[in-house]
A and B are shown apart, each in its own frame.
Chain A
Amino acid sequence: MIELRSVTHAYGDRPVLHDLSLRLAERRIAILGGNGSGKSTLARMLNGLIVPTSGSVAVDGLDTRTDGRAVRRRVGFVFQNPDTQIVYPTVEEDLAFGLKARKLPKDEIARRVAGALERYGLDRYRHQPAHQMSGGEKQLLAIAGVLVLEPDYVIFDEPTTLLDLRNRRKVIELLRGLPQTLLVVTHDLDMVKDFDRALVLEDGRVVIDAPPVEAVPAYVERLG
């Protein structure tokens, strides 16, 4: 479970999250809201990439302020733009990157990389430069690069925003099958309709917190 206690965050003296207290325990949680409402800030808060200005965030009891590294082992993070997440030129090498950062033994790395190539349909791209892949394939690689680390939670910050319809569907299918707890920031209301819970942010405050069947229509209505 991820727990936020009176979390406030400001960039400089500009507050962007106001006193959020949340217990996030559902398997599928959507984070909705307009541009600049604080979604990315909240998302990055959940794995300690950003620590709150005041208040605290804990993942399974680990405080992100003091145990950032341990938290990030449990909580994977996928960003919107795959180009800034892919570190190595070819697919196979990139999948190995996070595993090497963990200093796993070579044979274990090889085994996990082979597994990920197969599971996420990247086998035929194995030795290909990521640079030559399409946007959708790159996003799949970015997601695989996180999943190969076997996190318990995965946070996605607008994973389908840059994708065409077909690739968007592919990513949604992939997410649907994942055993992990997922927290997804998105503008894609269709994608979240079978989620367990949806939070709607507005100016750094949670204005709606309900299952998507209620939250989505309420959000749409709020937009006017």
Chain B
Amino acid sequence: MLGLYLHRESVIHRLPAGAKLGGLMLVTVIVLTLPGAWGALAAGLVGAAVLAAAELPAGRVLSELRAPVVMLTLLFGFQAVLAGGGWMETAIAVARFAALILLATLVTLTTRVMDMVDLFERLFGLLRPLGVNPAKMALMLALTIRFIPLLGDQVREVRMAQRARGVERNIAALFVPLLVKILTMADDLTAALEARGYDPADTGTKNGTQR
């Protein structure tokens, strides 16, 4: 669902990150206040329109929805069984949330992480009186998105090495080398950030530059 940015020269891509995120929140509120079926329909229509306008490959985008739809179906299905709801309501509830997830996915697919980070940096800036360092928070966000696929690679690598040595499934055996890898990476990363001029003590105030 956290689809990575997919570059296209579309209007949607060019919209500022704030507008897209604001729009997403607005549509979410509207969809959740509308009656179930109408909400699902509205979100679905908006989603389809944005998908077309963003010139993204529909198959690829929709495939990102597969896992969340399965989860939602299980969730609402259980609820229906336990609370005795009908299958129709369950389907509508799933459709409603799936449509919202589609919209959120479209936002992440059409917005560069850097623009998202800039936006969050400004938003976090409002929390500065509470001692929040907006630059640090924003960097953490960027790093999380960057390192999720890398972490997957590491897990695969460690598991492969273990399977090569005949260990098929052993959480502890996976955990230790993975932790070592992550700690080593974190150490190198800290040095690399510092070497590229990032200063963790920086307050994030932008002196002398205009946006």
Interface size on B, residues (CB 8 A): 32
Other than A93-B113, A101-B198, give 9 A-B pairs with Cβ distance below 8 A: A69-B197, A79-B195, A81-B185, A85-B189, A89-B146, A98-B196, A105-B210, A129-B4, A149-B197
Residues of B within 8 A of A88 (CB): 113-114, 142, 146
Cα of A105 to Cα of B208 in the assembled complex, Å: 9
Sampled A-B contacts (22; CB under 8 Å): A47-B195, A49-B194, A69-B199, A73-B197, A79-B195, A83-B185, A87-B146, A90-B113, A93-B113, A93-B114, A97-B196, A101-B202, A102-B197, A103-B207, A103-B208, A106-B209, A106-B211, A129-B149, A131-B4, A145-B196, A146-B195, A149-B197
- Given contact pairs A84-B185, A84-B189, A93 touches B196 in the complex (Cβ within 8 A): no
Q: Which 8 A-B pairs have CB atoms at the shortest separation, nearest pair first?
A: A127-B7, A84-B188, A77-B195, A98-B196, A93-B114, A85-B192, A101-B197, A101-B198
Cβ–Cβ contact A83 & B150, under 8 A: yes
The yes or no answer to A96 lying at the interface (CB within 8 A) is yes
Interface size bracket, A side: 35 or more
Cβ–Cβ contact A87 & B209, under 8 A: no
- Closest chain-A Cβ to B27's Cβ sits at a distance in Å of 25
Residues of A within 8 A of B4 (CB): 89, 129, 131
Residues of A within 8 A of B112 (CB): 90, 92-93
Residues of B within 8 A of A52 (CB): none
The yes or no answer to A18 lying at the interface (CB within 8 A) is no
Residues of A within 8 A of B209 (CB): 103-106
Cβ–Cβ contact B199 & A101, under 8 A: yes
Which listed residue, B5, B202, B207, B208, touches A127 by the CB 8 Å rule?
B5
Cβ–Cβ contact A79 & B113, under 8 A: no
Residues of A within 8 A of B149 (CB): 129, 131
Cα of A102 to Cα of B197 in the assembled complex, Å: 7
The yes or no answer to A86 lying at the interface (CB within 8 A) is yes
Residues of B within 8 A of A127 (CB): 5, 7
Residues of B within 8 A of A87 (CB): 139, 142-143, 146, 192-193, 196
The yes or no answer to A176 lying at the interface (CB within 8 A) is no
The yes or no answer to A72 lying at the interface (CB within 8 A) is yes
Cβ–Cβ contact B146 & A79, under 8 A: no
Residue of A nearest to B118 (CB): A100
- Given contact pairs A83-B150, A101-B196, A89 touches B211 in the complex (Cβ within 8 A): no
Cα of A89 to Cα of B116 in the assembled complex, Å: 12
The yes or no answer to B62 lying at the interface (CB within 8 A) is no
Partner-B contacts on A (CB < 8 A)? 44, 47, 49, 69, 72-73, 76-77, 79, 81, 83-90, 92-93, 96-98, 101-106, 126-127, 129-131, 145-146, 149
Residue of B nearest to A131 (CB): B149
Cα of A83 to Cα of B145 in the assembled complex, Å: 13
Which listed residue, A69, A79, A103, A126, touches B192 by the CB 8 Å rule?
A79
Cα of A149 to Cα of B195 in the assembled complex, Å: 11
Which listed residue, A72, A105, A131, touches B195 by the CB 8 Å rule?
A72
- Given contact pairs A86-B146, A88-B142, A103-B208, A72 touches B5 in the complex (Cβ within 8 A): no
The yes or no answer to B206 lying at the interface (CB within 8 A) is yes
Cα of A104 to Cα of B112 in the assembled complex, Å: 19
The yes or no answer to B191 lying at the interface (CB within 8 A) is yes
Cα of A76 to Cα of B5 in the assembled complex, Å: 29
- Closest chain-A Cβ to B133's Cβ sits at a distance in Å of 14
Cβ–Cβ contact A90 & B5, under 8 A: yes
